[in-house]
Amino acid sequence: MVRLRSTSSVGKGVKSIYDEIYGYIPVSELELKVIETPTLQRLRRIKQLALAWYVYPGAVHTRFSHSLGVMHVIGIIASKFIDEGYIKRDDYELLRIAGVLHDIGHTPYSHAIELYMTQAFKVRHEEMATYVIENDPYLNEVFSKYGVNPKEVSSIIRGTHKEPLHNMLLSSDLDADRIDYLLRDSLHTGVAYGMIDIDRILHTLMVDKDGEIAVPAKSVQAIENFYIARMHMYRAVYHHKTIAAFQVMMKTIYEMMLNELREYLEPFTTISNILSTIKKGTFYLWDDNYIAGLMNLTLVKNLGSDDLKDLIRLLFNRVGYKAVYDKIKLSREPLSVRENEEAISLSNLKDLIINGLGYKDFMAIPYVEELNLVDEDLCVKILDNESTTRITEFESSIINSIPRYIAITRLYVHPYILDKVRNMIRK
């Protein structure tokens, strides 16, 4: 367990919440009121890693514990920077509130359904978070009682707060969100190479003369390990072949339910309807349980098409889509797989399966991801001999030698057609 404590005089709590990573997290009266809102309690019912527990049974932790963790980490960094004069003391609680609310706009099943929302409505969870923070009646009651400006909270989450350092704490390579999810996800999955030396990172973090986050050269290994841990976690968890297959399947089921059982999903069907649930105070009902319950109901009451029921049965029994094509490329340069020949041939292969073999569209699904491990402009800076250098330009760092980009190209097919597709590919 990581026992991190703020050494600053700020941040004495009225209550403590026990966390599996940090131990007791003290919370103030305002923070407690925010945590107690139905809107934040909703995050107890959204798993952090959606369906990763199909591969790592322990990965059943929630967005709620992650949100508390981010609040705690941001508080530790903020209190250090307050003591050093870079952040105003008055902003300590504001930053912690932004930390605990940063994921408030997440859809059920986290990224599995967010993928659909992003494609269908071009809305990401950060934009949804802004709307929740500025319109949710439960949060706004607390905010108005304690004099918190919701726009100021949401500006930190969007990265548009007037203080660039506030934005860095939630939107940079080494931010509180990433620090917490790496620790928490690696703990719950058991993927040991996701662990990071958080004590060293947090205790040596500083602000350089340009106002950016830096660490001294003696901490460079801790930062290298942080980047390498991210690279491992991308492959071993976030884009794991089997986990991604279940996420693809979940997205397909959700899209089918939207088409076939729309009345059961109302009002969580369109952006405007979801926004009105936020205003009415019923957004908190949109959680993993709601979607899982509807999947159960579909089978119990024999609703929807046979295809939908089949997919739900397969998901419940841990029979996922199968990858018939799987390629992972690592590179020091951006890979742009979405637009290259490989993506085109993947799309052609899908056409061949759907049109050539006569299967339905949902039976073959391309999966293309381009990941950036190191943001060359906002990566951590290293202080050496009074001057700071980005870690990508720091001569003695191994970050200079490791890949900065990962591209994953896969074609998933429905388990029923796996053999026929494999035969077709062989021929």
Q: Interface residues with other proteins (CB under 8 A)?
A: 122, 149, 151-152, 155, 158-162, 164, 167-168, 171, 210-212, 333-336, 338-340, 370, 372, 375-378, 390
Choose between 154 and 219: whose C-beta lies nearer to other proteins: 154
**Residue located via tokens 């990433």:** 178
**DSSP letters for 99-117:** HHHTTTTPPTTHHHHHHHH
Shortest spacing between CB 288 and other proteins, in angstroms = 27
Residue with tokens 């802004």: 130
Nearer to other proteins, 21 or 374 (CB): 374
> How far apart (Å, rounded) are the C-alpha atoms in residues 184 and 94?
23
Smallest gap from Cβ 129 to other proteins, in A, equals 13
Query: Please, which residue, 210 or 306, has the CB nearer to other proteins?
Result: 210
Q: How far is the CB of 375 from other proteins (least distance, A)?
A: 6
Strands 206-207 and 23-27: what pairing?
unpaired
Which pair of tokens denotes residue 257?
Answer: 């339910």
Q: By C-beta, is 306 or 377 nearer to other proteins? A: 377
Pick between residue 162 and residue 427 the one whose CB is nearest to other proteins.
162
Task: Give residue 405's region: left, alpha or beta (phi > 0; psi -120 to 50).
Answer: beta
Report CA-CA distances (Å) from 421 to 39, 300, 351, 360, 425: 45, 32, 12, 13, 6
Whole-number minimum distance, CB 303 to other proteins, in Å? Answer: 37
Q: What is the rounded CA–CA span in Å between residue 3 and residue 227?
A: 22
In the complex with other proteins, which residue's Cβ is closer, 152 or 310? 152
Q: Which is nearer to other proteins, 160 or 348 (CB)?
A: 160
* Distance separating alpha carbons of residues 222 and 198, to the nearest angstrom: 8
Find the shortest distance in angstroms from Cβ 33 to other proteins. Answer: 22
What is the helix (H) or strand (E) element at residue 98, kind and residue range? helix 91-101
Q: Which is nearer to other proteins, 38 or 366 (CB)?
A: 366
Locate 139 and state its tokens.
């949060």
Burial of 197 (0-12, 13-18, 19+ CB in 10 A): middle
Cα 418 to Cα 427: distance, rounded to the nearest angstrom: 14
Find the shortest distance in angstroms from Cβ 214 to other proteins.
12
User: In whole angstroms, how close is the CB of 117 to other proteins at the nearest point?
Assistant: 16
Cβ 354 to other proteins shortest distance, Å: 24
